[in-house]
Structure 1
Amino acid sequence: MDLNSLSLLVEILEAGNLSEAARRLKMTRANVSYHLNQFERSLGLQLVRRTTRRVEPTEAGLRLYEHGRAIRNELLAAQESVATLGSTLQGRVRLSVPSGYGQLVMSEWLLEFKRQHPGIVLDVMFENRVEDLMRDEVDIAVRVMSEPPQNLVARDMGAVRYVACASRAYADEHGMPVELDDLRTAPLITAAVVGRQLRVAAYLDDERHEVLLEPTLISENFLFLRQAVLAGIGVGIVPDYVVMDDLRRGEVVTALDAWRLSIYGTRMVMLYMPNRHHTRAAGAFIEFILEQARRAGR
Protein backbone atom coordinates (compact mmCIF):
# COMPACT_ATOMS: atom_id res chain seq x y z
CA MET A 1 0.00 0.00 0.00
CA ASP A 2 1.27 3.44 -0.95
CA LEU A 3 1.87 5.52 2.19
CA ASN A 4 1.58 8.77 0.25
CA SER A 5 -1.92 7.79 -0.88
CA LEU A 6 -2.81 6.80 2.67
CA SER A 7 -1.58 10.19 3.89
CA LEU A 8 -3.66 11.86 1.19
CA LEU A 9 -6.78 10.06 2.42
CA VAL A 10 -6.12 11.29 5.97
CA GLU A 11 -5.75 14.87 4.76
CA ILE A 12 -8.95 14.69 2.70
CA LEU A 13 -11.07 13.36 5.56
CA GLU A 14 -9.64 15.83 8.06
CA ALA A 15 -10.21 18.72 5.66
CA GLY A 16 -13.82 17.66 5.07
CA ASN A 17 -13.85 18.28 1.32
CA LEU A 18 -11.54 18.08 -1.67
CA SER A 19 -11.17 21.83 -2.13
CA GLU A 20 -9.98 22.39 1.44
CA ALA A 21 -7.66 19.38 1.21
CA ALA A 22 -6.19 20.84 -1.97
CA ARG A 23 -5.62 24.18 -0.23
CA ARG A 24 -3.85 22.54 2.72
CA LEU A 25 -1.72 20.32 0.47
CA LYS A 26 -1.01 23.14 -2.01
CA MET A 27 -2.36 21.02 -4.86
CA THR A 28 -5.16 21.53 -7.35
CA ARG A 29 -8.54 20.03 -6.56
CA ALA A 30 -8.37 17.99 -9.76
CA ASN A 31 -5.01 16.54 -8.70
CA VAL A 32 -6.34 15.56 -5.28
CA SER A 33 -9.38 13.93 -6.88
CA TYR A 34 -7.19 12.04 -9.38
CA HIS A 35 -4.90 10.58 -6.71
CA LEU A 36 -7.87 9.60 -4.55
CA ASN A 37 -9.48 7.82 -7.49
CA GLN A 38 -6.22 6.01 -8.25
CA PHE A 39 -5.94 4.90 -4.61
CA GLU A 40 -9.50 3.56 -4.63
CA ARG A 41 -8.86 1.71 -7.90
CA SER A 42 -5.69 0.11 -6.57
CA LEU A 43 -7.59 -1.21 -3.55
CA GLY A 44 -10.79 -2.04 -5.39
CA LEU A 45 -12.74 -0.22 -2.68
CA GLN A 46 -14.70 2.99 -2.34
CA LEU A 47 -13.11 4.97 0.46
CA VAL A 48 -15.19 8.15 0.54
CA ARG A 49 -18.69 9.24 -0.40
CA ARG A 50 -18.75 12.60 -2.13
CA THR A 51 -21.49 15.17 -1.68
CA THR A 52 -21.68 18.71 -3.00
CA ARG A 53 -20.15 20.08 0.20
CA ARG A 54 -18.38 17.30 2.10
CA VAL A 55 -16.78 13.91 1.82
CA GLU A 56 -17.67 11.17 4.28
CA PRO A 57 -15.65 7.97 4.83
CA THR A 58 -17.04 4.57 3.98
CA GLU A 59 -16.41 1.80 6.51
CA ALA A 60 -13.25 0.83 4.63
CA GLY A 61 -12.21 4.48 4.37
CA LEU A 62 -12.69 5.01 8.09
CA ARG A 63 -10.54 2.01 8.98
CA LEU A 64 -7.78 3.13 6.67
CA TYR A 65 -8.06 6.68 8.01
CA GLU A 66 -7.54 5.48 11.59
CA HIS A 67 -4.44 3.48 10.61
CA GLY A 68 -3.15 6.30 8.43
CA ARG A 69 -3.59 8.88 11.17
CA ALA A 70 -1.72 6.68 13.66
CA ILE A 71 1.16 6.20 11.22
CA ARG A 72 1.32 9.92 10.44
CA ASN A 73 1.33 10.82 14.14
CA GLU A 74 4.17 8.41 14.87
CA LEU A 75 6.19 9.87 12.01
CA LEU A 76 5.58 13.41 13.25
CA ALA A 77 6.60 12.41 16.77
CA ALA A 78 9.79 10.80 15.44
CA GLN A 79 10.66 13.86 13.36
CA GLU A 80 10.04 16.21 16.26
CA SER A 81 12.03 14.17 18.76
CA VAL A 82 15.08 14.33 16.46
CA ALA A 83 14.62 17.94 15.40
CA THR A 84 14.29 19.25 18.95
CA LEU A 85 17.20 17.42 20.55
CA GLY A 86 18.99 19.87 22.80
CA SER A 87 16.83 22.78 21.73
CA THR A 88 14.13 24.88 23.34
CA LEU A 89 10.48 24.15 22.64
CA GLN A 90 9.30 25.39 19.28
CA GLY A 91 6.18 25.02 17.16
CA ARG A 92 2.71 26.48 16.80
CA VAL A 93 -0.36 26.00 18.98
CA ARG A 94 -3.68 27.14 17.57
CA LEU A 95 -6.33 27.55 20.25
CA SER A 96 -9.85 28.87 20.62
CA VAL A 97 -10.95 30.37 23.93
CA PRO A 98 -14.17 32.03 25.16
CA SER A 99 -14.24 35.80 24.76
CA GLY A 100 -14.77 36.62 28.43
CA TYR A 101 -12.81 33.83 30.12
CA GLY A 102 -10.05 34.11 27.56
CA GLN A 103 -9.52 37.83 28.04
CA LEU A 104 -10.34 38.20 31.74
CA VAL A 105 -8.76 35.01 33.09
CA MET A 106 -6.61 33.23 30.54
CA SER A 107 -4.80 36.21 29.02
CA GLU A 108 -2.29 36.38 31.90
CA TRP A 109 -1.72 32.63 31.64
CA LEU A 110 -1.12 32.87 27.91
CA LEU A 111 1.35 35.73 28.31
CA GLU A 112 3.23 33.88 31.05
CA PHE A 113 3.42 30.79 28.85
CA LYS A 114 4.89 32.94 26.06
CA ARG A 115 7.45 34.39 28.45
CA GLN A 116 8.52 30.88 29.40
CA HIS A 117 8.47 29.52 25.83
CA PRO A 118 9.36 32.33 23.40
CA GLY A 119 9.95 29.83 20.59
CA ILE A 120 6.32 28.66 20.54
CA VAL A 121 3.86 30.56 18.37
CA LEU A 122 0.44 30.95 20.00
CA ASP A 123 -2.40 31.52 17.53
CA VAL A 124 -5.33 32.57 19.74
CA MET A 125 -8.96 33.00 18.65
CA PHE A 126 -11.51 34.51 21.01
CA GLU A 127 -14.89 32.93 20.27
CA ASN A 128 -17.68 31.17 22.13
CA ARG A 129 -19.08 28.53 19.79
CA VAL A 130 -18.04 24.90 19.67
CA GLU A 131 -17.09 24.14 16.09
CA ASP A 132 -15.48 21.20 14.34
CA LEU A 133 -11.93 21.23 15.69
CA MET A 134 -10.65 19.01 12.92
CA ARG A 135 -12.23 21.10 10.17
CA ASP A 136 -11.12 24.42 11.66
CA GLU A 137 -7.54 23.26 12.30
CA VAL A 138 -7.83 24.12 15.99
CA ASP A 139 -5.48 22.19 18.27
CA ILE A 140 -7.18 23.08 21.54
CA ALA A 141 -10.47 24.74 22.50
CA VAL A 142 -11.70 25.92 25.89
CA ARG A 143 -15.46 26.08 26.40
CA VAL A 144 -18.21 26.28 29.03
CA MET A 145 -20.45 23.22 28.96
CA SER A 146 -22.01 20.50 31.07
CA GLU A 147 -21.65 17.54 28.71
CA PRO A 148 -18.64 17.69 26.36
CA PRO A 149 -18.94 16.04 22.92
CA GLN A 150 -18.13 12.34 23.10
CA ASN A 151 -15.85 12.52 20.07
CA LEU A 152 -13.42 14.89 21.83
CA VAL A 153 -11.06 14.60 24.77
CA ALA A 154 -12.34 16.84 27.58
CA ARG A 155 -10.09 18.00 30.45
CA ASP A 156 -11.80 19.66 33.39
CA MET A 157 -10.67 23.20 34.21
CA GLY A 158 -13.06 23.88 37.08
CA ALA A 159 -16.55 25.03 37.92
CA VAL A 160 -18.30 27.96 36.26
CA ARG A 161 -20.48 30.01 38.61
CA TYR A 162 -23.00 32.47 37.24
CA VAL A 163 -24.14 35.47 39.28
CA ALA A 164 -27.09 37.82 39.07
CA CYS A 165 -25.44 41.22 39.48
CA ALA A 166 -25.83 44.95 38.91
CA SER A 167 -23.98 48.16 39.57
CA ARG A 168 -24.38 49.56 43.06
CA ALA A 169 -26.03 52.65 41.59
CA TYR A 170 -28.62 50.53 39.76
CA ALA A 171 -29.30 48.48 42.91
CA ASP A 172 -29.80 51.63 45.01
CA GLU A 173 -32.23 53.12 42.51
CA HIS A 174 -34.19 50.09 41.28
CA GLY A 175 -33.55 47.35 43.81
CA MET A 176 -32.35 43.83 43.06
CA PRO A 177 -34.26 40.59 42.33
CA VAL A 178 -35.38 38.95 45.54
CA GLU A 179 -37.19 35.90 44.17
CA LEU A 180 -36.10 33.75 41.26
CA ASP A 181 -39.22 34.75 39.30
CA ASP A 182 -38.12 38.40 39.50
CA LEU A 183 -35.70 37.57 36.69
CA ARG A 184 -38.67 37.29 34.33
CA THR A 185 -39.36 41.03 34.55
CA ALA A 186 -35.95 42.52 35.31
CA PRO A 187 -34.01 44.25 32.48
CA LEU A 188 -31.48 41.48 31.95
CA ILE A 189 -27.98 41.66 30.45
CA THR A 190 -26.57 38.33 29.32
CA ALA A 191 -25.37 36.18 26.44
CA ALA A 192 -27.67 34.06 24.29
CA VAL A 193 -27.53 31.52 21.49
CA VAL A 194 -29.14 32.68 18.24
CA GLY A 195 -32.40 30.86 17.53
CA ARG A 196 -32.65 29.27 20.96
CA GLN A 197 -34.83 30.28 23.90
CA LEU A 198 -32.71 31.45 26.78
CA ARG A 199 -33.30 29.68 30.06
CA VAL A 200 -31.44 29.85 33.32
CA ALA A 201 -31.22 26.72 35.43
CA ALA A 202 -31.25 27.48 39.14
CA TYR A 203 -30.38 25.05 41.92
CA LEU A 204 -31.23 25.41 45.60
CA ASP A 205 -29.90 22.46 47.57
CA ASP A 206 -31.30 19.47 45.62
CA GLU A 207 -34.10 21.41 43.92
CA ARG A 208 -33.80 22.45 40.29
CA HIS A 209 -35.83 25.29 38.81
CA GLU A 210 -35.83 26.82 35.35
CA VAL A 211 -36.75 30.33 34.32
CA LEU A 212 -37.32 31.57 30.79
CA LEU A 213 -35.42 34.82 30.26
CA GLU A 214 -36.11 37.77 27.96
CA PRO A 215 -32.97 39.93 28.08
CA THR A 216 -32.94 43.59 27.22
CA LEU A 217 -29.29 43.45 26.12
CA ILE A 218 -27.63 40.43 24.50
CA SER A 219 -24.06 39.91 23.38
CA GLU A 220 -21.48 37.14 23.05
CA ASN A 221 -18.81 39.66 24.08
CA PHE A 222 -18.57 39.42 27.85
CA LEU A 223 -16.37 42.50 28.15
CA PHE A 224 -19.24 44.47 26.61
CA LEU A 225 -21.71 42.83 29.01
CA ARG A 226 -19.50 43.88 31.92
CA GLN A 227 -19.52 47.46 30.65
CA ALA A 228 -23.30 47.36 30.44
CA VAL A 229 -23.57 46.13 34.03
CA LEU A 230 -21.23 48.88 35.26
CA ALA A 231 -23.21 51.46 33.28
CA GLY A 232 -26.37 50.56 35.20
CA ILE A 233 -28.30 49.25 32.18
CA GLY A 234 -29.82 46.39 34.14
CA VAL A 235 -29.18 43.11 35.94
CA GLY A 236 -26.45 40.94 34.49
CA ILE A 237 -26.44 37.16 34.51
CA VAL A 238 -22.82 36.40 33.78
CA PRO A 239 -20.03 34.09 35.00
CA ASP A 240 -18.53 35.42 38.22
CA TYR A 241 -15.10 35.95 36.66
CA VAL A 242 -16.60 38.67 34.42
CA VAL A 243 -17.27 40.97 37.39
CA MET A 244 -14.96 39.51 40.04
CA ASP A 245 -12.75 42.60 40.33
CA ASP A 246 -15.80 44.89 40.37
CA LEU A 247 -17.33 42.85 43.19
CA ARG A 248 -14.13 43.16 45.24
CA ARG A 249 -14.17 46.94 44.77
CA GLY A 250 -17.83 47.15 45.74
CA GLU A 251 -18.86 48.65 42.39
CA VAL A 252 -21.09 45.66 41.63
CA VAL A 253 -23.44 43.79 43.97
CA THR A 254 -25.11 40.40 43.58
CA ALA A 255 -28.56 38.97 44.27
CA LEU A 256 -30.08 35.50 44.63
CA ASP A 257 -26.81 34.34 46.21
CA ALA A 258 -28.46 31.25 47.73
CA TRP A 259 -29.13 29.93 44.22
CA ARG A 260 -26.59 28.27 41.95
CA LEU A 261 -27.27 29.62 38.46
CA SER A 262 -26.28 28.16 35.11
CA ILE A 263 -27.03 29.06 31.50
CA TYR A 264 -24.57 27.30 29.19
CA GLY A 265 -22.98 24.81 31.53
CA THR A 266 -21.40 24.27 34.91
CA ARG A 267 -17.81 23.39 33.95
CA MET A 268 -14.99 24.97 32.00
CA VAL A 269 -13.39 22.29 29.85
CA MET A 270 -10.41 21.99 27.54
CA LEU A 271 -11.19 20.11 24.34
CA TYR A 272 -8.96 18.47 21.76
CA MET A 273 -9.13 15.68 19.23
CA PRO A 274 -8.45 12.13 20.48
CA ASN A 275 -5.46 10.30 19.06
CA ARG A 276 -4.16 13.43 17.36
CA HIS A 277 -0.42 13.79 17.57
CA HIS A 278 0.43 16.49 20.07
CA THR A 279 3.70 18.26 19.48
CA ARG A 280 5.88 18.91 22.48
CA ALA A 281 4.69 22.51 22.25
CA ALA A 282 1.02 21.53 22.42
CA GLY A 283 1.64 19.04 25.22
CA ALA A 284 3.51 21.64 27.26
CA PHE A 285 0.74 24.17 26.68
CA ILE A 286 -2.00 21.76 27.78
CA GLU A 287 -0.27 20.88 31.04
CA PHE A 288 0.64 24.52 31.76
CA ILE A 289 -2.95 25.76 31.33
CA LEU A 290 -4.43 22.89 33.35
CA GLU A 291 -2.02 23.67 36.19
CA GLN A 292 -2.98 27.36 36.10
CA ALA A 293 -6.66 26.39 36.22
CA ARG A 294 -6.01 24.09 39.20
CA ARG A 295 -4.26 26.90 41.08
CA ALA A 296 -7.04 29.36 40.30
CA GLY A 297 -9.64 26.94 41.63
CA ARG A 298 -7.99 26.43 45.00
Structure 2
Amino acid sequence: MDLQSLTLLVEILDAGNLSEAARRLKMTRANVSYHLNQLERSVGAQLVRRTTRRAEPTEIGLRLYQHGLAIQSELAAARESVTTLGQSLLGRVRLSVPSGYGQIVMSEWLIDFKRQYPGIVLDVLFENRIEDLLRDEVDIAIRVIPEPPQNLVARDLGPVRYVACASREYAAQHGLPMQLDQLQSAPVVTAAVIGRQLRVAAYQGEERREVVLEPTLISENFLFLRQAILAGLGIGLVPDYLMNDDVRRGDVLTTLDDWRLSIFGTQMYMLYMPNRQHTRATRTFIDFILARVRGAAPVASEG
Protein backbone atom coordinates (compact mmCIF):
# COMPACT_ATOMS: atom_id res chain seq x y z
CA MET A 1 0.00 0.00 0.00
CA ASP A 2 1.32 3.45 -0.90
CA LEU A 3 0.20 7.08 -0.86
CA GLN A 4 -1.00 6.90 -4.46
CA SER A 5 -3.31 3.99 -3.61
CA LEU A 6 -4.74 5.82 -0.59
CA THR A 7 -5.26 8.92 -2.73
CA LEU A 8 -7.17 6.81 -5.25
CA LEU A 9 -9.41 5.44 -2.48
CA VAL A 10 -10.10 8.94 -1.12
CA GLU A 11 -10.99 10.22 -4.59
CA ILE A 12 -13.37 7.30 -5.26
CA LEU A 13 -15.26 7.73 -1.99
CA ASP A 14 -15.34 11.53 -2.25
CA ALA A 15 -16.64 11.31 -5.81
CA GLY A 16 -19.30 8.74 -4.90
CA ASN A 17 -18.74 6.50 -7.90
CA LEU A 18 -15.95 5.22 -10.12
CA SER A 19 -16.95 7.24 -13.20
CA GLU A 20 -16.79 10.57 -11.37
CA ALA A 21 -13.52 9.57 -9.72
CA ALA A 22 -12.09 8.75 -13.13
CA ARG A 23 -13.13 12.16 -14.42
CA ARG A 24 -11.50 13.94 -11.47
CA LEU A 25 -8.30 11.87 -11.76
CA LYS A 26 -8.24 12.19 -15.56
CA MET A 27 -8.13 8.40 -15.90
CA THR A 28 -10.37 5.86 -17.56
CA ARG A 29 -12.98 4.14 -15.43
CA ALA A 30 -11.39 0.78 -16.23
CA ASN A 31 -8.03 2.05 -14.98
CA VAL A 32 -9.57 3.30 -11.73
CA SER A 33 -11.31 -0.05 -11.24
CA TYR A 34 -8.06 -1.94 -11.92
CA HIS A 35 -6.05 0.06 -9.34
CA LEU A 36 -8.84 -0.30 -6.77
CA ASN A 37 -8.84 -4.07 -7.29
CA GLN A 38 -5.05 -4.11 -6.84
CA LEU A 39 -5.36 -2.16 -3.59
CA GLU A 40 -8.02 -4.54 -2.28
CA ARG A 41 -5.84 -7.53 -3.15
CA SER A 42 -2.88 -6.01 -1.29
CA VAL A 43 -5.06 -5.34 1.77
CA GLY A 44 -6.81 -8.70 1.53
CA ALA A 45 -10.29 -7.25 1.99
CA GLN A 46 -13.03 -5.47 0.09
CA LEU A 47 -12.74 -1.71 0.60
CA VAL A 48 -15.55 -0.38 -1.58
CA ARG A 49 -19.02 -1.73 -2.31
CA ARG A 50 -19.77 -0.89 -5.95
CA THR A 51 -23.15 -0.51 -7.57
CA THR A 52 -24.00 1.01 -10.93
CA ARG A 53 -24.63 4.37 -9.26
CA ARG A 54 -22.77 4.47 -5.97
CA ALA A 55 -19.50 3.50 -4.32
CA GLU A 56 -19.69 3.09 -0.55
CA PRO A 57 -16.93 2.14 1.89
CA THR A 58 -16.80 -1.06 3.88
CA GLU A 59 -15.74 -0.73 7.52
CA ILE A 60 -12.06 -1.25 6.71
CA GLY A 61 -12.42 0.93 3.63
CA LEU A 62 -13.74 3.78 5.79
CA ARG A 63 -10.79 3.45 8.17
CA LEU A 64 -8.29 3.58 5.31
CA TYR A 65 -10.20 6.51 3.79
CA GLN A 66 -9.86 8.45 7.05
CA HIS A 67 -6.12 7.73 7.18
CA GLY A 68 -5.77 8.78 3.54
CA LEU A 69 -7.70 11.97 4.15
CA ALA A 70 -5.53 12.87 7.14
CA ILE A 71 -2.34 12.24 5.16
CA GLN A 72 -3.57 14.36 2.25
CA SER A 73 -4.46 17.19 4.62
CA GLU A 74 -1.06 17.04 6.31
CA LEU A 75 0.70 17.14 2.95
CA ALA A 76 -1.43 20.09 1.83
CA ALA A 77 -0.63 21.94 5.05
CA ALA A 78 3.09 21.20 4.60
CA ARG A 79 3.05 22.46 1.01
CA GLU A 80 1.19 25.58 2.09
CA SER A 81 3.70 26.29 4.88
CA VAL A 82 6.55 26.15 2.37
CA THR A 83 4.91 28.12 -0.43
CA THR A 84 3.53 30.89 1.83
CA LEU A 85 6.65 31.37 3.93
CA GLY A 86 7.32 35.09 4.06
CA GLN A 87 4.29 35.86 1.93
CA SER A 88 0.87 37.33 2.66
CA LEU A 89 -1.82 34.79 3.53
CA LEU A 90 -3.09 32.93 0.46
CA GLY A 91 -5.63 30.16 -0.06
CA ARG A 92 -9.27 29.44 -0.75
CA VAL A 93 -12.27 29.05 1.56
CA ARG A 94 -15.56 27.63 0.29
CA LEU A 95 -18.33 28.72 2.63
CA SER A 96 -22.05 27.91 2.83
CA VAL A 97 -24.19 30.42 4.74
CA PRO A 98 -27.96 30.82 5.30
CA SER A 99 -29.52 33.09 2.70
CA GLY A 100 -30.90 35.78 4.99
CA TYR A 101 -28.30 35.68 7.76
CA GLY A 102 -25.54 35.59 5.18
CA GLN A 103 -26.85 38.60 3.26
CA ILE A 104 -27.99 40.79 6.13
CA VAL A 105 -25.54 39.98 8.92
CA MET A 106 -22.53 38.15 7.52
CA SER A 107 -22.02 40.09 4.29
CA GLU A 108 -20.26 42.95 6.11
CA TRP A 109 -18.08 40.45 7.98
CA LEU A 110 -17.14 38.72 4.74
CA ILE A 111 -16.27 42.01 3.06
CA ASP A 112 -14.12 43.02 6.05
CA PHE A 113 -12.38 39.65 5.97
CA LYS A 114 -11.66 40.03 2.26
CA ARG A 115 -10.24 43.51 2.84
CA GLN A 116 -7.90 42.17 5.53
CA TYR A 117 -6.87 39.08 3.55
CA PRO A 118 -6.97 39.99 -0.16
CA GLY A 119 -4.94 36.91 -1.07
CA ILE A 120 -7.65 34.52 0.16
CA VAL A 121 -10.32 33.52 -2.35
CA LEU A 122 -13.79 33.43 -0.72
CA ASP A 123 -16.30 31.17 -2.49
CA VAL A 124 -19.63 31.90 -0.78
CA LEU A 125 -22.82 29.87 -1.26
CA PHE A 126 -26.07 31.37 0.03
CA GLU A 127 -28.30 28.41 0.86
CA ASN A 128 -30.32 26.99 3.74
CA ARG A 129 -30.04 23.25 3.27
CA ILE A 130 -27.50 20.99 4.94
CA GLU A 131 -25.78 18.94 2.31
CA ASP A 132 -22.76 16.65 2.23
CA LEU A 133 -19.82 18.99 2.89
CA LEU A 134 -17.32 16.65 1.25
CA ARG A 135 -19.46 16.04 -1.81
CA ASP A 136 -20.05 19.75 -2.31
CA GLU A 137 -16.42 20.59 -1.45
CA VAL A 138 -17.60 23.00 1.27
CA ASP A 139 -15.03 23.87 3.94
CA ILE A 140 -17.39 25.55 6.40
CA ALA A 141 -21.18 25.74 6.76
CA ILE A 142 -23.21 28.03 9.04
CA ARG A 143 -26.55 26.51 10.03
CA VAL A 144 -29.43 26.69 12.50
CA ILE A 145 -30.34 23.13 13.51
CA PRO A 146 -31.77 21.36 16.57
CA GLU A 147 -28.68 19.16 16.99
CA PRO A 148 -25.43 19.23 15.00
CA PRO A 149 -24.59 16.12 12.93
CA GLN A 150 -22.33 13.72 14.80
CA ASN A 151 -19.98 13.36 11.85
CA LEU A 152 -19.10 17.09 11.82
CA VAL A 153 -17.29 19.46 14.16
CA ALA A 154 -19.82 21.99 15.48
CA ARG A 155 -18.85 25.35 16.99
CA ASP A 156 -21.72 26.94 18.86
CA LEU A 157 -22.39 30.47 17.57
CA GLY A 158 -25.19 31.25 20.00
CA PRO A 159 -28.97 31.13 20.39
CA VAL A 160 -31.54 31.75 17.70
CA ARG A 161 -34.76 33.69 18.23
CA TYR A 162 -37.75 33.80 15.93
CA VAL A 163 -40.47 36.44 16.21
CA ALA A 164 -44.14 36.60 15.26
CA CYS A 165 -44.74 39.96 13.60
CA ALA A 166 -46.86 41.91 11.12
CA SER A 167 -46.93 45.29 9.46
CA ARG A 168 -48.66 48.12 11.33
CA GLU A 169 -51.28 48.26 8.56
CA TYR A 170 -52.04 44.53 8.83
CA ALA A 171 -52.35 44.80 12.60
CA ALA A 172 -54.76 47.75 12.29
CA GLN A 173 -57.00 45.86 9.85
CA HIS A 174 -56.89 42.31 11.23
CA GLY A 175 -55.40 42.49 14.69
CA LEU A 176 -52.54 40.38 16.02
CA PRO A 177 -52.78 36.89 17.51
CA MET A 178 -52.57 37.08 21.29
CA GLN A 179 -52.58 33.31 21.88
CA LEU A 180 -50.41 30.65 20.25
CA ASP A 181 -53.42 28.75 18.94
CA GLN A 182 -54.60 31.85 17.06
CA LEU A 183 -51.65 31.41 14.69
CA GLN A 184 -53.45 28.40 13.23
CA SER A 185 -56.18 30.59 11.75
CA ALA A 186 -53.87 33.42 10.64
CA PRO A 187 -52.20 33.77 7.23
CA VAL A 188 -48.62 32.87 8.12
CA VAL A 189 -45.58 34.02 6.15
CA THR A 190 -42.47 31.97 6.85
CA ALA A 191 -39.90 29.44 5.67
CA ALA A 192 -40.74 25.76 5.93
CA VAL A 193 -39.50 22.40 4.78
CA ILE A 194 -41.28 21.40 1.57
CA GLY A 195 -43.47 18.34 2.03
CA ARG A 196 -43.54 18.55 5.82
CA GLN A 197 -45.96 20.09 8.26
CA LEU A 198 -44.66 23.25 9.85
CA ARG A 199 -44.25 22.55 13.55
CA VAL A 200 -43.42 25.63 15.60
CA ALA A 201 -42.01 24.97 19.06
CA ALA A 202 -42.76 27.60 21.70
CA TYR A 203 -41.06 27.89 25.09
CA GLN A 204 -42.13 29.89 28.14
CA GLY A 205 -40.15 29.14 31.26
CA GLU A 206 -40.40 25.39 31.80
CA GLU A 207 -43.41 25.08 29.50
CA ARG A 208 -43.02 23.82 25.95
CA ARG A 209 -45.80 23.79 23.39
CA GLU A 210 -45.96 22.87 19.73
CA VAL A 211 -48.25 24.41 17.14
CA VAL A 212 -48.85 22.87 13.70
CA LEU A 213 -49.38 25.52 11.04
CA GLU A 214 -50.22 25.69 7.35
CA PRO A 215 -48.49 28.84 6.03
CA THR A 216 -50.06 30.75 3.16
CA LEU A 217 -46.71 32.03 1.88
CA ILE A 218 -43.52 29.98 2.04
CA SER A 219 -40.03 30.83 0.79
CA GLU A 220 -36.41 30.08 1.54
CA ASN A 221 -35.58 33.65 0.49
CA PHE A 222 -35.81 35.60 3.73
CA LEU A 223 -35.45 38.99 2.05
CA PHE A 224 -38.58 38.16 0.05
CA LEU A 225 -40.36 37.13 3.27
CA ARG A 226 -39.52 40.53 4.75
CA GLN A 227 -41.05 42.26 1.73
CA ALA A 228 -44.19 40.13 2.07
CA ILE A 229 -44.54 41.00 5.76
CA LEU A 230 -44.10 44.72 5.05
CA ALA A 231 -46.72 44.41 2.30
CA GLY A 232 -49.25 43.22 4.90
CA LEU A 233 -49.67 39.68 3.57
CA GLY A 234 -49.85 38.06 6.99
CA ILE A 235 -48.15 37.17 10.25
CA GLY A 236 -44.46 36.61 9.77
CA LEU A 237 -42.59 33.91 11.65
CA VAL A 238 -39.02 34.87 10.91
CA PRO A 239 -35.64 35.39 12.62
CA ASP A 240 -35.53 38.52 14.76
CA TYR A 241 -32.63 40.12 12.86
CA LEU A 242 -34.70 40.20 9.67
CA MET A 243 -37.22 42.73 11.00
CA ASN A 244 -35.23 44.52 13.73
CA ASP A 245 -34.87 47.78 11.79
CA ASP A 246 -38.55 47.75 10.80
CA VAL A 247 -39.58 47.12 14.41
CA ARG A 248 -37.42 49.99 15.65
CA ARG A 249 -39.00 52.32 13.10
CA GLY A 250 -42.48 51.22 14.16
CA ASP A 251 -43.38 49.85 10.71
CA VAL A 252 -43.68 46.31 12.11
CA LEU A 253 -45.24 45.14 15.37
CA THR A 254 -44.35 41.93 17.21
CA THR A 255 -46.66 39.69 19.20
CA LEU A 256 -46.45 36.63 21.44
CA ASP A 257 -43.27 38.15 22.83
CA ASP A 258 -43.54 36.11 26.04
CA TRP A 259 -42.85 32.97 24.02
CA ARG A 260 -39.50 31.88 22.60
CA LEU A 261 -40.32 30.53 19.17
CA SER A 262 -38.32 28.01 17.16
CA ILE A 263 -38.81 26.51 13.70
CA PHE A 264 -35.51 24.94 12.61
CA GLY A 265 -33.71 24.92 15.96
CA THR A 266 -32.63 27.09 18.85
CA GLN A 267 -28.87 27.28 18.18
CA MET A 268 -26.64 28.38 15.34
CA TYR A 269 -23.53 26.34 14.56
CA MET A 270 -20.43 26.58 12.44
CA LEU A 271 -19.89 23.14 10.90
CA TYR A 272 -16.82 21.60 9.31
CA MET A 273 -15.27 18.19 8.73
CA PRO A 274 -13.33 16.53 11.57
CA ASN A 275 -9.92 14.91 11.22
CA ARG A 276 -8.90 17.38 8.57
CA GLN A 277 -5.84 19.60 8.76
CA HIS A 278 -7.28 22.94 7.77
CA THR A 279 -5.28 25.34 5.65
CA ARG A 280 -4.07 28.58 7.21
CA ALA A 281 -6.74 30.37 5.22
CA THR A 282 -9.53 28.21 6.67
CA ARG A 283 -8.19 28.45 10.23
CA THR A 284 -7.90 32.23 9.89
CA PHE A 285 -11.45 32.47 8.60
CA ILE A 286 -12.84 30.34 11.45
CA ASP A 287 -11.10 32.49 14.06
CA PHE A 288 -12.25 35.69 12.34
CA ILE A 289 -15.93 34.66 12.32
CA LEU A 290 -15.85 33.42 15.92
CA ALA A 291 -14.41 36.77 16.99
CA ARG A 292 -17.13 38.65 15.08
CA VAL A 293 -19.87 36.51 16.61
CA ARG A 294 -18.56 37.14 20.11
CA GLY A 295 -18.66 40.85 19.37
CA ALA A 296 -22.22 40.71 17.99
CA ALA A 297 -24.14 39.90 21.17
CA PRO A 298 -26.74 38.60 21.07
CA VAL A 299 -25.99 36.40 18.08
CA ALA A 300 -28.47 36.95 15.28
CA SER A 301 -30.67 34.17 13.91
CA GLU A 302 -30.52 32.24 10.67
CA GLY A 303 -32.54 32.79 7.56
TM over 0.5: yes
- Aligned equivalent of 1:275: 275
Deviation at 1:19, TM superposition (A): 2.4
Deviation at 1:52, TM superposition (A): 2.4
- Aligned equivalent of 1:116: 116
Provide structure 1 residue ranges, at least 5 long, that are not aligned to the other structure. Answer: none
Q: Counterpart amino acid of 1:157?
A: L
Matched, 1:75 2:91: no
Which one is further off, 245-254 or 20-29? 20-29
Counterpart of 2:128 in 1: which secondary structure? coil
Matched, 1:96 2:96: yes
Please, what is the CA RMSD of the aligned residues?
1.2
Alpha-carbon distance in 1 for matches of 2:45, 2:135 = 25
Counterpart of 1:148 in 2: which secondary structure? coil
Alpha-carbon distance in 2 for matches of 1:35, 1:287 = 40
Q: How does 1:1-298 map to 2 (within 5 A)?
A: 1-298=1-298
Deviation at 1:210, TM superposition (A): 0.6
Counterpart of 2:270 in 1: which secondary structure? strand
Q: Counterpart amino acid of 2:256?
A: L
Provide structure 2 residue ranges, at least 5 long, that are not aligned to the other structure. Answer: 299-303
Which one is further off, 58-67 or 132-141? 58-67
Q: Counterpart amino acid of 1:8?
A: L
Which one is further off, 244-253 or 218-227? 244-253
- How many residue pairs match? The answer is 298
Alpha-carbon distance in 2 for matches of 1:54, 1:297 = 45
- Give the TM-score of the pair, scaled to structure 1: 0.97
Percent identity between matched residues is 76
Deviation at 1:26, TM superposition (A): 2.8
Deviation at 1:91, TM superposition (A): 1.0
Deviation at 1:151, TM superposition (A): 0.5
Which one is further off, 99-108 or 53-62? 53-62
Deviation at 1:59, TM superposition (A): 2.1
Alpha-carbon distance in 2 for matches of 1:222, 1:32 = 44
Alpha-carbon distance in 2 for matches of 1:123, 1:27 = 28
Over 4 Å off, 4+ runs: none
Alpha-carbon distance in 2 for matches of 1:103, 1:162 = 17
Counterpart of 2:295 in 1: which secondary structure? helix
- Aligned equivalent of 2:301: none
Alpha-carbon distance in 1 for matches of 2:26, 2:106 = 35
Counterpart of 1:296 in 2: which secondary structure? coil
Alpha-carbon distance in 1 for matches of 2:88, 2:70 = 26
Q: Deviations over 1:87-140 (max 9, x none)?
A: 111111111111111111111111110011111111111111111111111111
